Amino acid sequence: MLKEETLKVVINGQEVESSFGKTILECARDSGVDIPTLCFDSRVKATAACRLCSVNVKGRRLPVAACAQKMEPGMEITTDSSDLESMRKTILDLVVSENPTGECVRCEEIGPCELHTLTKRYGSKPGRFHGALSGEKSKDTNPFIFRDYSQCILCYRCTSVCGELEQAHAIVPAGRGFGSRIAAAFDSGLLDSSCTFCGQCIQTCPTGALMDRKMLGQAKASEVTKVKTVCPYCGTGCGLNLHVANNKVIGTTPDWDSPSGEGSLCVKGQFATDFVGHKDRLKTPLIRRNGVLTEATWDEAYDLIVEKFTQIKEESGPNAFTFWTSARATTESNYIMQKFARAVIGTNNVDNCSRT
């Protein structure tokens, strides 16, 4: 690891301390100064494609990209001059002019995307520039990742995350100049690529170009609540948010504060939570009557267990019982199960699936 050595710089007239190796953006954010970004994802190398984060550095003629420029001792930086702000508005005007309006459902169904949050802040509107429109809606029919490159702004966040972070290289920048676009290998659908459907491209995309297909058409963003929890699958314990509308889980997004996940999920945490509330769920107790499992009330089920357990305990003692608990259930439920075995029935015959 690099040794952290401190250096002094000035941001918007304030002297601040930073360390070598940090970018202007990191240093600004550390000291509470907001610089807008569009193509930046802290987990991958900056591509400096959008220039929205441009700042002025004293002694330099042209603005520099704060997300890519490393701090140097004594730098004097301005992040919020009116020139910079109007340049940012122009960049955003240009970006939104390339995308068709009125087609994307992202802001309405999933919540405002980064791009539209920024255009609102800067009062940018489409139609100021007339030029080539962005790419096309993809015909990819995979059930997880909706791809509509007419909304793409070529920030390359998705391809960086796919290549650098996931190292899956399922989608790559393709073409040149006006023909630049994002494509899966051989322009195929993602099911025929090396995609693992971790969904990280959706999560980093600042526009409606990539969306969680399972979440679409389920609810209005205003009806959705997010519940912070942890993935129910493997022992990595990635943090995630369940998106809930009308008592239904409609999808997940990563919890960026999760210490083990650090904002990542795999296909299971990202796309396999629809078993919650599945129609096959058990809804009532069942009791075997004449050889067939039939619906029963809780009282009937409890009575039957109490009767049979009491009889067996009287005849054979507590060690004729065994309790298997679940590595899927909560720690609290597991605790209660072993307490029931030990304190109520009186046996240490309790085990969980860690062996299997």
Residues that bind ligand FES (CB under 6 A): 37-40, 48-53, 65, 67
Residues 53-92 that bind ligand SF4 (CB under 6 A): none
> Which of 64, 162, 211, 231 touches ligand SF4 by CB under 6 A?
231
* 127 vs 217 by CB, closer to another protein: 217
Between β-strands 210-212 and 181-184, what pairing exists: parallel, antiparallel or unpaired?
Answer: unpaired
Of the candidates 28, 37, 27, which has an alpha carbon nearest to the alpha carbon of residue 6?
27
Q: Is 152 in the site for ligand SF4 (CB under 6 A)?
A: yes
If phi over 0 gives left and psi between -120 and 50 gives alpha, with beta otherwise, what is residue 97? alpha
- Closer CB to another protein, 116 or 213, in the complex: 213
Should residue 183 be labelled a site residue for ligand SF4 when binding is judged by CB under 6 A? no
Longest dimension (CA), the chain: 92
C-beta of 345: minimal distance to another protein in Å? 8
Beta-carbon neighbour count of residue 173 at 10 Å? 17
CB of 10 to ligand FES, least distance (A): 20
Dihedral angle at the C-alpha atoms of 238, 255, 205, 67, nearest 10 degrees?
-100
| Position with the least CB separation from ligand SF4 | 269
Q: Residue 48 binds which entry of ligand SF4, another protein, ligand FES, none, with Cβ cut-offs from 5 to 8 Å by kind?
A: ligand FES
Instruction: Choose the one of another protein, ligand SF4, ligand FES, none that binds residue 37, judging by a C-beta under 5 to 8 angstroms depending on kind.
Output: ligand FES
- What number of chain residues touch ligand SF4 (CB under 6 A)? 25
Q: Is 277 in the site for ligand SF4 (CB under 6 A)?
A: no
**Residue 152 touches which of another protein, ligand SF4, ligand FES, none (Cβ within 5-8 Å per kind):** ligand SF4
Q: Which stretch binds ligand SF4 (CB under 6 A): 56-64, 136-144, 146-154, 315-323?
A: 146-154
Q: DSSP string covering 6-56, please? A: EEEEEETTEEEEEETT-BHHHHHHHTT-----SS--TTS-----S-TTEEE
Q: Nearest Cα to 270, choosing from 328, 220, 326, 215?
A: 215
CB of 29 to ligand FES, least distance (A): 12
Cα 227 to Cα 242: distance, rounded to the nearest angstrom: 5
